[in-house]
Structure 1
Amino acid sequence: MQKKYLIGVDLGTSSTKSALFTINGKKIAEFSVSVPIYYPQPGIVEQNDQDFYDTAAQTIQKIIQDSGIDPREIAAIAFDSQMAGIGMIDEHFQPAARFDSWLDMRCKPYIDLMDRDAGELVTRITGCPPTCDHGSKILWWKNEQPQIYQNTAKYVIPGVYVAGRMAGLKAEDAFIDYTYIHFSGFADNEKMCWSEELCSRFGIDRSKLPRIVNPWDVIGEVTDESAKKFGLAPGTIIAAGAGDTAANALGAGIVRPGMLLDVAGTASVLAGCTDQYAPDVKNRALLSMRSIIPGLWNPLAYIGGGGIALSWFKEQFYNTNRGKSLPDDESLYAEMLAATKNVTPGCEGLLFSPHLGGRICPSSAAMRGAWIGASWSHTQAHFFRAILESVAYEYAYYLEILRALLPNLTFSEARVVGGGAKGDLWNQIKADVLAVPYQRLQGKEFGSWGIAMVAGKAAGVIENLAEFAIQTSSLSGNPFQPIEQNIKIYHPIIQKYIHMENMLNSYFNQNI
């Protein structure tokens, strides 16, 4: 039977989403369900690997039923998943403990330990500074829960758990694809192998670390038992998959050096595309993630609550005294943006620091938000525009670091996705601050399509992932071109913003 379809599944923190596509990228069906998050104690955030498995089965079965297709026509399936959390399996490929979420901060003492003992070394070898990721979490389990550590055969991420269970793998077959290994704490990212130096330094048993594979490697096929639970045909190919950010970058067509991806969502993420490995040892702000495309890298950094800052302002300072007849969010944002258009670039000297819950890149948990430079002339619209501009200034800081690491890199365009991509004014501000054309994309399922393409390569129905990603990424309207006059206004303000953030970091971290 001819293979006509691909399935991409996104195993997110709060939901699992499955999507069915034709091989040329047309979406046929999608379905998502929420995934439980558990908070057993303050500071502890856990999930169940079995929940990922069950919700994947539920959503896959639903899209197949809704589409009415013959499951035998599905060429392959692949999973992307949240990246910085880590799970544990025993020798029977069953959970040895609950999944340790990226939101869980009990590992902080071991972040500090890694940073004190070998922070520069970890950053140089893994491409990521010590943070709340696999490395610090594994050390926590090793030292705080030695019995569970001993019972753990392999450490795995959610996509591996689901794919491995579907394929009936044994623990010795566990894997991790290379888009996750910057978060591992113990991998030589450039050589794509486990670092003997780092594992030895921190006393990690390398036998508990899974084999490193390519995203499109076939890790197995759907078993007869799994076929019944998922509604798939036995023997359907399962690809290794990739991290959710890497899948989004591929789905958005970020496959050529100099391209940028702006994920304007709850977190504000800016990822580049380069053909060189350039770890940010000096600033420890950029994370050097491997692109799904061989030979390319996606250095990235993000604001933990960039998008949340807008809704926070709306609720606390704009959506007040309106009685019971409150307009919807879209109307409120449109109203706020309309007022902001009359504010000149630079907000007449008003600057905002968007790190209301601490700074992520570089890590500074003590930092908080701030407005600097307020005067009698500033209106509500100035304060809102200052938030919009702050995200662009933070992005400019990331690009300044990237330019210093790779002086010959030229930025050609930024592609923007997420809820914030709808705002014309915000896109124009970012284009002006970064001096890069800003292009919206059609659709919103970039992660599930990106990982579905990986499944297509595994099945042999897609040959060149980079070219195919460019061909199937649909642009929405004309790009927002940088305005030369605004570039000149913003250029000196970027340096003021960077100086302000350095001062705020010192202020919030001083011991009084």
Structure 2
Amino acid sequence: MGKHYIIAHDIGTTGNKATLYSSDGELISSTLYKYQTFYPKTGWAEQNPLDWWQAVCDTTKTLLEKTSVTREQIGAVSFSGQMLGCLLVDRQGDPLGNAIIWADMRASDQAKRLEEELGMETVYQITGHRISSSYSGAKIKWVKEHQPDVFKRAYKILQAKDYLVYRLTGTFATDYSDACGTNCFDLVNKVWSDDILKAWGIEKDIFPDLHASTDVIGGVTDWAAKETGLLQGTPVVIGGGDGVCAAAGVGVIDEGEAFNYIGSSSWIATASNKPIFDPEMKTYTWVHLDANKYSPNGTMQCGGGSMQWVTELLYQDSKPDVSMYELMNLEAEKSPPTSRGLVYLPYLMGERSPRWNPDARGAFVGLSITHTRGDMARSVMEGVAYNLKIVLDTFQKEGAPINYMWVLGGGAKSASWRQILADIYGLDVYVPSYLDEATSMGAAMAGAVGSGLIKDFQEAKRWVKRVNIHHPQPDIQKKYWEFFPLFNETYSQLKPVYERLKKFN
């Protein structure tokens, strides 16, 4: 039998989800292996990279054991991975400690010093990203300053998926999308930035070679074949960071296409032929899985997280036959558009895009004694949508037209919320058949294109099936767009208050 299948590993924060796809995009099977995150100090977050490898070995064997697919039929292995990490390894590829992951904030001083030396605008124009302690560059600098013995022994700095690609092939590599998450990458020229590395005091050689997400890095070695159950020589395609994999996995390949992910954090991303450099730096840009394109993005801190918060706060009394989320949706549907004049600011965890204000806080403004919890629930849905509309408007203003919006994630399971998004965005909202599989599907697409199982991403786009569509309702859209300036004005008025509240936190 021919080689018609791809194994896609999605190395997430809580575990590795391994998924088996056919070369025509059919999801055959998936399995999850969970691992721990360690918090040795406040603001620190680490994982053991050996746990990632164990996850890949176990899930690969599980997929092969529980399906009728043989290892000879696996045409490629590919990856999606958590981004913004810092794993230092020696010349043999052995970890020199735990990986510092995206959620770790220990390197704020290092990020601040880079801003003082080069300036936020300069780095943004080079990298397409603001300076942040979340990014790998600041973390590398922190290790150099605080763990000099470890840094002296380091040969390469790797992201999660890059380490696993090394374990499978024996080759050190990274892709353009993960390179974007270092704050050290020249977005336009697709090279490491000499100016930024000089400012950091980091040698270029510590970074692995750069590749397109569809590049075959090598074949599975004899040792890795024994560990995983794969066939020696099976092509390993490097894949990309989780955000850009999700974009491709929902068919956002060409200009005019976009998607909205609503998980704990929420974001809007589109596809473009060139980077978007917003003058106010509200958004940022990755290189797309298709290395000839880009994936502009804007991520808010607490989208679905806001919905979870208000539901758990107000709907604990739901009856056994109705979940609290079902009850919340039913009551929110009874509230009229604009929630009877109630504004919700979704800044429960500060804010990234579009405000970039860590001091911002959540607020209900306009509450009266006549408001119900259904009004409050609907107001939360609307507030998250208004906040994301700022991101959407930024893309459109900077020359990235958007014709429709796919939705993904747990929050997208709410039909009420999807309709609110359509009305506030003024766009058709598309619902894919797989709400939770876009990330692994994007990795599988990269694997299929890179290994030659399919021709290109245009062919891969046919994998994505639409099962529902929500059209904007003109009368309601008009009402929302009249209300939208109040949302922005409310934030502007409260901004100085947030600053003064800091000392009471």
Aligned position for 2:460: 469
Q: Distance in 2 between matches of 1:203 and 1:411?
A: 40
Q: Distance in 2 between matches of 1:116 and 1:285?
A: 20
Q: Distance in 2 between matches of 1:16 and 1:391?
A: 29
Q: Distance in 2 between matches of 1:154 and 1:160?
A: 10
Relative to structure 2, which stretch is displaced further, 366-375 or 52-61? 366-375
Aligned position for 1:122: 123
Deviation, structure 1 residue 175: 1.6
Matched-pair contact (CA < 8 Å) for 1:396–1:494: no
Aligned position for 2:486: 496
Q: Secondary structure at the match of 1:120?
A: helix
Letter in 2 for 1:493: F
Aligned position for 1:144: 146
Q: TM-score with structure 1 length normalisation?
A: 0.94
Q: Distance in 2 between matches of 1:217 and 1:211?
A: 12
Q: 1:429 aligned to 2:420? A: yes
Matched-pair contact (CA < 8 Å) for 2:448–2:454: yes
Matched positions, count: 498
Alpha-carbon deviations, 1:149-175, whole Å to 9, x = none?
221111110101011111123xxxx22
Q: Distance in 1 between matches of 2:41 and 2:346?
A: 28
Q: Secondary structure at the match of 2:7?
A: strand
Aligned position for 2:160: 158
Q: Distance in 2 between matches of 1:113 and 1:405?
A: 30
> Which residue of the other structure, out of 242, 245, 258, is the alignment partner of 2:243?
245
Matched-pair contact (CA < 8 Å) for 1:271–1:301: yes
Matched-pair contact (CA < 8 Å) for 1:261–1:415: yes
Q: Secondary structure at the match of 2:340?
A: helix
1:154–1:503 CA distance, 2 compared to 1 (3 A) = farther
Aligned position for 1:405: 398
Structure 1, unmatched stretches of 5+, are: none
1:469–1:509 CA distance, 2 compared to 1 (3 A) = farther
Alpha-carbon deviations, 1:209-267, whole Å to 9, x = none?
11110111111111111111111111100011111111111110011212111111122
Aligned position for 2:338: 346
Matched-pair contact (CA < 8 Å) for 2:4–2:453: no
Q: Distance in 2 between matches of 1:99 and 1:503?
A: 41
Give the alignment of 1:111-260 within 5 angstroms: 111-117=111-117, 118-131=119-132, 132-169=134-171, 174-260=172-258
Deviation, structure 1 residue 507: 2.1
Aligned position for 1:287: 284
Aligned position for 1:308: 305
Give the alignment of 1:364-403 within 5 angstroms: 364-403=357-396
Aligned position for 1:262: 260
Aligned position for 2:473: 483
Relative to structure 2, which stretch is displaced further, 330-339 or 373-382? 330-339
Q: Distance in 1 between matches of 2:439 and 2:277?
A: 25
Deviation, structure 1 residue 6: 0.9
Deviation, structure 1 residue 447: 1.3
Relative to structure 2, which stretch is displaced further, 111-120 or 131-140? 111-120
Q: 1:420 aligned to 2:411? A: yes
Give the alignment of 1:269-284 within 5 angstroms: 269-280=267-278, 282-284=279-281
Deviation, structure 1 residue 7: 0.8
Q: TM-score with structure 2 length normalisation?
A: 0.95
Q: Distance in 2 between matches of 1:316 and 1:395?
A: 23
Q: Distance in 1 between matches of 2:495 and 2:183?
A: 25
Letter in 2 for 1:390: G
Aligned position for 1:508: 498
Alpha-carbon deviations, 1:47-66, whole Å to 9, x = none?
01111111111111100111
Deviation, structure 1 residue 379: 1.3
Matched-pair contact (CA < 8 Å) for 1:79–1:241: yes
> Which residue of the other structure, out of 356, 360, 364, is the alignment partner of 2:352?
360
Kindly report the root-mean-square deviation, in angstroms, between the aligned alpha carbons of the 2 structures: 1.6
Q: Distance in 1 between matches of 2:496 and 2:92?
A: 49
Alpha-carbon deviations, 1:304-333, whole Å to 9, x = none?
22112212112222214x6xxx537x7322
Identical aligned residues as a percent: 27
Alpha-carbon deviations, 1:372-395, whole Å to 9, x = none?
111222111111111000111011
Q: Distance in 2 between matches of 1:69 and 1:384?
A: 46
Aligned position for 2:4: 4
Matched-pair contact (CA < 8 Å) for 2:26–2:463: no
Give the alignment of 1:325-336 within 5 angstroms: 327=320, 331-336=323-328
Matched-pair contact (CA < 8 Å) for 1:364–1:505: no
Letter in 1 for 2:123: V
Matched-pair contact (CA < 8 Å) for 1:354–1:370: yes
Matched-pair contact (CA < 8 Å) for 1:340–1:382: yes
Q: Distance in 2 between matches of 1:139 and 1:224?
A: 36
Q: Secondary structure at the match of 1:472?
A: coil
Aligned position for 1:88: 88
Matched-pair contact (CA < 8 Å) for 2:213–2:290: no
Matched-pair contact (CA < 8 Å) for 2:264–2:305: yes
Matched-pair contact (CA < 8 Å) for 2:162–2:238: yes
Matched-pair contact (CA < 8 Å) for 1:107–1:140: yes
Letter in 2 for 1:372: V
